[in-house]
Amino acid sequence: MRKTTTAASLLSVLFTVLALAACSLPSRQARFSEDFAASDVHARGFGGSDKATCEAARRALLSQGYVISEASASLVRGRKNFQPERDQHLQVEFHVVCAPNSPGSNSSTAFANAVRDSYSLKKSSTSASLGVGALGSLSLPLGMSDDALVKVGSETIDTPRFYEQFFGLMERYFDGAGDPGEETAEGSTRPDAGAAAAAGR
């Protein structure tokens, strides 16, 4: 009986030591970090009203194949699809907010950000129910599958060059800054190239 009590006491002490050791271990920190430092990656000033600035943003996105889902005097939203691989699908959604620098001023700032959503093709097997008299229904696999795109990731694009190209293209489409019908020079200001490069990382 004494040996049993001694063994129980030793186990109790051991569990206590392990619990204290676990509490003293440093907690694992998440890799995510956000520094609100001064940066002009997502913003650019323009010499015009917020309405003219957003119109330039709308034309710039249209010229690169983006589908505009919303457009107003202070907001433009568009999206574009990419398929780098057969079973992988990417969608870039662009948001541009135009704000006047001061009430009544003829200058404004465009704030832009693009979010890249990743989708993967997943297969799911199907089955059918078969009634078997008193046994009720019986589910049998048919060996068939349905393909469906499943969202596997979402991330804001932070590549400086991507936004530099977009703002540069906006300047061309700004009122008086260029012909809206003029095509973009190859290899110069093509924001979709930056999106594809960022998506492939």
| % of residues, the chain, pLDDT over 70 | 57
Its pTM stands at 0.62
- Alpha helix stretches (DSSP H) within 25-149: 50-63
- Is 177 inside a domain boundary? yes
Domain count of the chain?
Answer: 1
- Is 20 inside a domain boundary? no
| Residue among 157, 155, 166 at smallest CA distance from 110 | 166
- Is 162 inside a domain boundary? yes
Confidence of residue 80 (pLDDT cuts 50, 70, 90): very high
Residue 168 belongs to domain spanning:
40-79+95-112+157-201
Residue 1: pLDDT above 60? Answer: no
- Is 150 inside a domain boundary? no
Over residues 130-174, the pLDDT tens digits come to 555 555 555 555 555 567 778 888 999 999 999 999 999 999 998
- Is 21 inside a domain boundary? no
Q: Which two tokens stand for residue 182?
A: 């003029």
Query: Which whole number is the average pLDDT over 101-122?
Result: 90
Q: Which residues contact 180 (CB under 8 A, 6 or more apart)?
A: 59, 173
Over residues 21-41, the pLDDT tens digits come to 455 444 444 455 666 766 789
Cβ atoms of 186 and 73 within 8 Å: the answer is no
Residue with tokens 């999206």: 79
